[in-house]
Amino acid sequence: MLKLMLRQLLHHPVRMLLSMLMISVALLLGFVIKGLSNGVMQEKVQRTQGIGADLMIQPPHSSYILGLGENVMPDGLAQKLTEINGVEAATPTATNVSFTNRLEAIFGIDLPSFSRVTGGFVYLQGSPFSGPYTALVDDVYTRTHHVHLGSTLNILDHRFTVSGVVEHGRGARVFVPLKTLQDLLAPGKCAVIFVKSAPGSPIGEVENRLRHFAGGALEDYQITRMSDLATLITPSSFLGLRQFLLVIVAFAGVINFLVIFLALYVQVLGQTRELGILRALGASRRYMLRLFVGEACLLCLFGGGLSLVLYLLTRTIVLSIYPALHFLLPAGTVLRVGAIALASAVLGGAYPAYRASACEPITALAYE
Amino acid sequence: MNNRTGIDNAEPRALIEARALTKIYDGAPGAPPAVSALNLKIPAGQFTAVMGASGSGKSTLLYLIAGLAEPTGGEVLIDGVSISLLGDTARARMRNTRIGFVFQRFNLLSFLSARDNIDAPRLLGWKARSSPKSIDGLLAAVGLEKKRLRKVSELSAGEQQRVAIARALINDPDILLADEPTGNLDSRNAEAVLDLLLRLKSDLGLTIVMVTHNPEVALRADRIIQMKDGSIERELMTGQIEPLQEGIQRLEGGFPH
């Protein structure tokens, strides 16, 4: 049967290629958006975990996406937390999002305590802050924003001079002195406190002590284990993103359905005589159903394969233009989208298959 | 008399039997039946030619025997099994495994090569796939071994009909039904196809039912059935007609009563 399916499809190569292309573009849309959102989020998680802290404390109902939270916590809290048994270091961090050019989180950091938590920056160029309006940027930022040591950045309508370029992976791509950012946003306040537990101290116990600190002063605060971030930062973290992705996948399924329906319907109409011949040779109605539904699935598989090739191509092109972006397309996602596409292919092929199976051999053989 | 097969013990066993076979095509209210209460027995190994004017029901009879059309009344038995009463799947299986069909217009699958067309009945899965040797053997038997990979559209009419005959034989059928197999061929190719059918009959013991308009072709058969208005008007055994020229004249002028 596979041989017949392939020969039937290859009999009209242009139609087959166009159908494959349309199916692949529909699936590509889903793969790229899903891959990009997954990739960006995963990179966000890795970068946040790269800070090296074990726990982070945020005000109630804060977003796990750092930079979106409000600076409402007193920064002095961090120092007090270091007195808790099992806490090795704690650092207050103010955050802000820059909308200049691209959405970018900016960390206001207290460099000494931040270094105690992170183990310190790896400087690729330059040195630590040399003044209140100096900034550190990571190597990815220099490539994507074409800045270098000594460049000036416009942050909150103030000019900051790049004093150092550091290795990426420490939470944000741009760092400014905590005090400076606080003065511009909320003096004495921060959005998050990163806590590093002492070696040998179980994180669970440290977390428990934090919750009961000062008679439960932090009870309403959001205390998150950094190891849990991967499961907490998901499409659901962004309002509407999950629904948007579902709509895109649904659209891909509908387009897939329509393309396969059209391709096979045209084939059934155009090959009426051949259908009669197959029936005359001994193809049962059930066989004809299987033949055409199988063709629909085959077309979908070819289109799906092509969409993966196009996805890799698209990813390469996008990353060459925007190196800061990340793609992640887990096998599970490919399989889920593939299953939806296959289901829509079966639905799309069902009616043409029914038409093919219902054709009377004599009527079909008499077809001119 | 065997009440299932209708075979008289004194007669040779009927491989094909039509009992009160009637076919009225849909959408033609009041139209005369294409086949009307026809009774027929064809023993195994017999070469039967069916003649008659256009619209006399010859092709419909063939389609009914092949199970390609459903009778309005009566039934067709193949080796004692009523093909008319079988479900679609069982009928398709019987058509595939026991009956070969050769059409006037060849009816080859245009998207397959000559070789794959011959193999097509095996692709339907009722029998195990044919070995390349058996396909090549059939290609050699019909003289097309050198054109096996050609698309059928690149073959001459005679070659296409030979592919169609080879395709009809791939599943080793008991019965070969041929609907004017020489109708679209020139005399040289028609003669070659007829010789091939006769050779198949003698070599393989095939039971052949062939519709033809051509008396010369019909006289090569063992038995000739003349149809009129969906019924058998007359029939004769060709062995009774001698010499050939006289037979042709008698066929062209009408059968003896």
Residue pLDDT, tens place only, A73-123: 898 888 998 888 889 999 999 998 876 656 678 999 999 999 999 888 999
At A360, is the pLDDT very low, low, confident or very high (cuts 50, 70, 90)?
confident
Per DSSP, the residues of A328-341 read ---HHHHHHHHHHH
Question: Tell me, what's the pLDDT at B29?
Answer: 63
Question: Which residues of chain B does A4 touch, with a Cβ-Cβ cutoff of 8 Å?
Answer: 120, 123
| Domain layout of chain A by residue ranges | 2-43+240-365, 60-220
B165 pLDDT higher than 70: yes
For residue A176, give the H/E element and its range: strand A174-177
Residue pLDDT, tens place only, A252-279: 888 889 988 998 888 888 888 888 888 8
**DSSP SS3 for B159:** helix
Question: Tell me, what's the pLDDT at A1?
Answer: 76
Give the mean pLDDT of chain A: 86
Cα separation of B217 and B211, whole Å?
A: 10
Question: Tell me, what's the pLDDT at B184?
Answer: 73
**Interchain CB distance below 8 Å, B69 and A10:** no
Question: Tell me, what's the pLDDT at A64?
Answer: 67
CB-based contact A311:A35 (threshold 8 Å): yes
Across B103-117, B183-197, B211-225, least confident range = B183-197
Cα separation of A33 and A214, whole Å?
A: 46
Question: Tell me, what's the pLDDT at A308?
Answer: 93
Question: Tell me, what's the pLDDT at B131?
Answer: 61
**Interchain CB distance below 8 Å, A362 and B63:** yes
- State the best of B86, B96, B167 to mutate against chain A, taking most chain A CBs within 10 Å: B96
CB-based contact A67:A172 (threshold 8 Å): yes
**DSSP SS3 for B75:** strand
**Mean pLDDT on A299-319:** 92
Question: Tell me, what's the pLDDT at B253?
Answer: 58
Quote the pTM value: 0.70
Whether cis (ω within 30° of 0) applies to the bond prior to B243 is yes
Question: Which residues of chain A does B126 touch, with a Cβ-Cβ cutoff of 8 Å?
Answer: 282
Question: Which residues of chain B does A277 touch, with a Cβ-Cβ cutoff of 8 Å?
Answer: 107-109
Question: Tell me, what's the pLDDT at A237?
Answer: 65
Question: Tell me, what's the pLDDT at A15?
Answer: 83
Q: Which of residues 65-94 of B touch A (CB under 8 A)?
A: 66, 68-69, 88-89, 91-93
Task: Give the one of A8, A285, A362 whose C-beta lies nearest to B68's C-beta.
Answer: A362
CB-based contact A116:A196 (threshold 8 Å): yes
Burial class of residue A11 in the structure, from the number of CB atoms within 10 Å of its CB (0-12 exposed, 13-18 middle, 19+ buried): middle
For B148-214, where are the alpha helices, taking DSSP H only? 157-169, 187-204
Residue carrying structure tokens 């070599």 = B203
CB-based contact A155:A338 (threshold 8 Å): no
Q: What whole-number percentage of chain A has pLDDT above 70?
A: 95
| B94 Cα to chain A: minimum distance (Å) | 8
| Token pair of B70 as six digits | 């459903």
A211 pLDDT higher than 90: no
| A27 Cα to chain B: minimum distance (Å) | 30
Per DSSP, the residues of A249-263 read HHHHHHHHHHHHHHH
The CATH number for B14-253, chosen from 3.40.50.720, 3.30.1280.10, 3.30.1440.10, 3.40.50.300, is 3.40.50.300
Question: Tell me, what's the pLDDT at A34?
Answer: 85
At B8, is the pLDDT very low, low, confident or very high (cuts 50, 70, 90)?
very low
For residue B211, give the H/E element and its range: strand B207-211
| Domain layout of chain B by residue ranges | 14-253
**Mean pLDDT on A298-321:** 91
At B61, is the pLDDT very low, low, confident or very high (cuts 50, 70, 90)?
very high
Contact residues for A16 (Cβ-Cβ < 8 A; gap 6+): A9, A10, A263, A299, A302
At B3, is the pLDDT very low, low, confident or very high (cuts 50, 70, 90)?
very low
CB contact B109 to A (< 8 Å): yes
Across A210-214, B117-121, B128-132, B159-163, least confident range = B128-132
Chain A nearest-CA residue for B151: A11
Residue pLDDT, tens place only, A144-200: 888 999 999 988 889 999 999 999 988 888 999 999 999 999 999 999 999 999 888
| Token pair of B242 as six digits | 């001698």
B145 pLDDT higher than 60: yes
**Interchain CB distance below 8 Å, A1 and B110:** no
Question: Tell me, what's the pLDDT at B4?
Answer: 41
B10 pLDDT higher than 60: no
Question: Tell me, what's the pLDDT at B247?
Answer: 58
Cα separation of B219 and B189, whole Å?
A: 17
Question: Which residues of chain A does B153 touch, with a Cβ-Cβ cutoff of 8 Å?
Answer: none
ipTM: 0.79
Q: What whole-number percentage of chain A has pLDDT above 90?
A: 29
DSSP B243: S
Cα separation of A88 and A116, whole Å?
A: 8
DSSP A66: T
